[in-house]
Amino acid sequence: PCIVTNPAIEIYNNIVYIYLRLASIGSVFSRTFISVAELKPENLSGRIKVKAYPILYGIMPYESVEDPRVDPDKKLSLYHVRAIYRTEISRVFTFHSQLTGYRVDKIEAINFYSKEWGTFLIQDYRDTFPLNGSFMIVRPFFKDKGFGVIAIGPRRGVQVNFDELEVPPELLPSTGEVKAGGNASLRLSKNEYLLLYHIVDDHGVYYTYGALFDRGAELLALTEEPIIAPEAEVYSGRRPSTVFVCGATLYGDSIIISAGRDDEITLIYEIGKQEMYDSLKYVSG
């Protein structure tokens, strides 16, 4: 492949599952598919070579499958984006798939419910995945303004209550920043979930932060400084200074984070669980 990027990650039965966004040689970044690779946790260091098996791919010539995320409360439960580039106006939707090995058991669209409008889809909502078993992270994007925010709403399976979506003001972009979006959710304890999210500055550079929520989606704490920021000497690809996180998992006392770099390669980061707690500033409780 010419692109191996934006990976989700989880550890199940002492096997690391990495869900990779791939583009074949001669393809383009807007025509990608998702494959899964397996390896042992102890092999998750240095330069990694894996064998990946396609599991989610486009059917139509104008379809792209992108940006996998996992459910922090349900193993082998994968969320992904399907983008339709048939006209100048793209259509982007998020889907859920339950996996059994390398087989996809079902694909269902994330949908929204309102007392006034009933059940419906939103035209463009990337970065949508579960915070936990009861709440969904949603990234409404206002194309005419080039502005995106993080919203959280109660969910029943793949259906999100649109009437109860809320935007945490603490996670809004500030001066010199143009958009925010969720990256991945990780269960740290019985009642604590770590949301990794990004802020994009007006140059288009991504910075990854952390926010701690309880099971009821109340914000407890957040990091004041980025957890991950681009480093100039690591790599330079088609989209310099872009580090896009799609996954996080616990392994012992460490948090393993998987990210795409410059829309071309995959990077694996490690941070101590206690180090993460120490970086959080509590706002509640």
pLDDT digits over 175-196, tens only? 899 999 999 999 999 999 999 9
Q: Indicate the residue type of 88.
A: E
Backbone angles phi and psi of 226, in degrees to 5: -60, 145
Q: What's the pTM value of the predicted model, to 2 decimals?
A: 0.94
pLDDT of residue 37: 95
Q: What is the pLDDT of residues 55-77, one digit of tens each?
A: 999 988 889 999 999 999 999 99
Per-residue pLDDT tens for 133-175? Answer: 999 999 977 777 777 899 999 999 999 999 999 999 999 999 8
For residues 8 and 55, give the distance between their C-alpha atoms in angstroms, rounded to a whole number. Answer: 14
- Write down the residue that tokens 């460490």 correspond to: 254
Quick one: what percent of the chain has pLDDT higher than 70? Answer: 98
Give the three-state DSSP class for 127: coil
The label of the residue with tokens 């990091």 reads 223
Which CATH number among 1.20.120.50, 3.40.630.30, 2.115.10.20, 3.40.50.300 corresponds to the domain 3-282?
2.115.10.20
Least confident of 22-31, 190-199, 203-212: 22-31
